[in-house]
Structure formats: C-alpha cells, structure tokens
C-alpha cells in the first residue's frame, strides 16, 4: 500500500471530493498504477481518502491510501506524470495499513484571508461559538476551536476536522462578526488528536 500526500490548488480546489475520487481512478489507469480491487459484487478500487474538504478550499495536506504494490518513489513519479493540473503528489510512503487517513486526522490548521481585521483573542475568550448546522440546528463548537492567531496577512487557526465543524461555517460566522470579502481558505496541515502533523506521527 502507498500513503500519499497531495495538494489541491491552481483551480483544482473547485473540484468536489466525489469527482476527485473518480479522477484519481482515471489517473491511476493512465499512469498504469495497478490498484487492487475489492472482491465484492461491484468491485471498486481500494483507495481510501481523508475526510472531504469544502469545494473552493485549497489544501497542501490531503492524504490518500492506495492499495498497490508500487514503490513509493515510482508511485509518486507516475502519479505526477499523469495527474491533472492542480493535483500533485508531494510525498509518498510505503505502508501496510490504511493508517487512519479518514479517522486519525481530527484537527486541521488553516490560513484564512479576507476577514476584516480583528483581535483573535476575542474569539479564544468566548465561552461558546454557535454555528447553524445544515439541518438548521444550532451547535456550540467552541471546543473545536483549538487556536487562533494573526499570521501571514490573515489568521491561522487550528480547528476540529471531520467531526462536526466545517471551516466554511466558522468563517461565515467570523464574517458575520467582523465583515470581510474575497475569503480565501487554505488547509495547511492535517493534525492528529495530539496536535502533531499527521505525517509526523504516522508516516515516518
């Protein structure tokens, strides 16, 4: 098996998670990367992806496990040769398990630009941070906001990932508080529960 880290930018951030999965299958076929298939009634490629990010969010820290016998080096070379623009494998490791790409990445570090200037402390001092979920219910997600600071012309924050807080909802709320325009969100790093980068704890 191969664990790959890839980035999604240059326009590719607008491709949805499901379309990405489909495109991956085609990239592997073009690159002649022999991916193993499930043995069920409807066989499918054994590819495991990290939890989806919203359409329009750039990411330099997406992970995917591919069940193949390729070497990491060969996999990365072939993938990048045949991948579409904006999707690039930045690292690959040989592994013998799924590595919990979907379950172990529970936090993510984002760089958010475009929100009008504000003092991050105002957010970290809050006791509750209410967002409206898709079903219309209100939810306090303060415990999923781990850090927030000013950095690189925007704010850098660590939020819960894949566990009830979508960064778009968080940003929507901040824009509601402080105003903003032309919001740009970049997922910089996927983190495990202890706050370490996923690959630091899982890929060495």
> Residue from 48, 60, 82, 146 that binds another protein (CB under 8 A)?
82
DSSP letters spanning the chain:
-EEEEEEE-TTGGGS-HHHHHHHHHHHHHHHT--B-B--SSS--B-EEEPPP--TT-EEEEEEEEE-B---HHHHHHHHHHHSPTTEEEEEEEE-SS-TTTTTT--EEEEEEEEEPP--THHHHT-S--EEE-TTS-EEE-GGGEEEEEEETTEEEEEEE-SSS--HHHHHHHHHHHH-EEEEEEEEEEEE-TTS-BHHHHH--
Residues in binding contact with another protein, number by CB under 8 A: 25
Q: How far is the CB of 12 from another protein (least distance, A)?
A: 7
Q: How far is the CB of 196 from another protein (least distance, A)?
A: 31
86 interacts with another protein by CB under 8 A: yes
15 interacts with another protein by CB under 8 A: yes
25 interacts with another protein by CB under 8 A: yes
Q: How far is the CB of 63 from another protein (least distance, A)?
A: 21
> At 36, phi and psi to the nearest 5?
-75, 155
Residue (30 or 77) nearer to another protein, CB: 30
Residue (179 or 195) nearer to another protein, CB: 179
Residue whose tokens read 């209410």: 130
Segment near another protein (CB under 8 A), from 10-18, 64-72, 104-112, 139-147?
10-18
CA–CA separation, 161 and 144 (whole Å): 8
CA–CA separation, 104 and 49 (whole Å): 12
Query: Cα 88–153–20 angle (5° rounding)?
Result: 25
Q: How far is the CB of 182 from another protein (least distance, A)?
A: 5
Residue (11 or 179) nearer to another protein, CB: 11
Q: How far is the CB of 33 from another protein (least distance, A)?
A: 10
> Residue from 59, 61, 83, 186 that binds another protein (CB under 8 A)?
83
- Interface map 42-81 toward another protein (x if CB under 8 A): -------------xx-------------------------
Binding-site ranges for another protein (CB under 8 A): 10-12, 14-16, 18-19, 22-23, 25-30, 55-56, 82-86, 182-183
């Amino acid at each position: 098996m191969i664990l790959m880290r890839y980035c999604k930018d240059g326009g590719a951030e607008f491709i949805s998670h499901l379309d990405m999965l489909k495109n991956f299958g085609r990239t592997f076929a073009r690159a002649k990367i022999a991916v193993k298939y499930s043995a069920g009634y409807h066989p499918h490629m054994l590819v495991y992806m990290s939890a989806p990010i919203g359409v329009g969010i750039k990411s330099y820290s997406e992970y995917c496990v591919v069940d193949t016998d390729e070497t990491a080096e060969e996999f990365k070379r072939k993938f990048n040769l045949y991948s579409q623009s904006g999707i690039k494998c930045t690292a690959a490791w040989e592994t013998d398990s799924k590595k919990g790409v979907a379950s172990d990445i529970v936090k993510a570090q984002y760089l958010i630009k475009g929100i009008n200037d504000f003092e991050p402390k105002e957010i970290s001092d809050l006791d509750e941070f209410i967002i409206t979920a898709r079903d219309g219910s209100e939810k306090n997600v303060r415990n999923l906001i781990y850090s927030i600071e000013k950095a690189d012309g925007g704010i850098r924050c660590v939020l819960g990932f894949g566990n009830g807080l979508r960064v778009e909802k968080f940003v929507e709320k901040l824009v509601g508080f402080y105003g903003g325009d032309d919001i740009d969100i970049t997922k910089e790093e996927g983190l495990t529960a202890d706050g370490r980068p996923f690959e630091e704890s899982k890929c060495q």
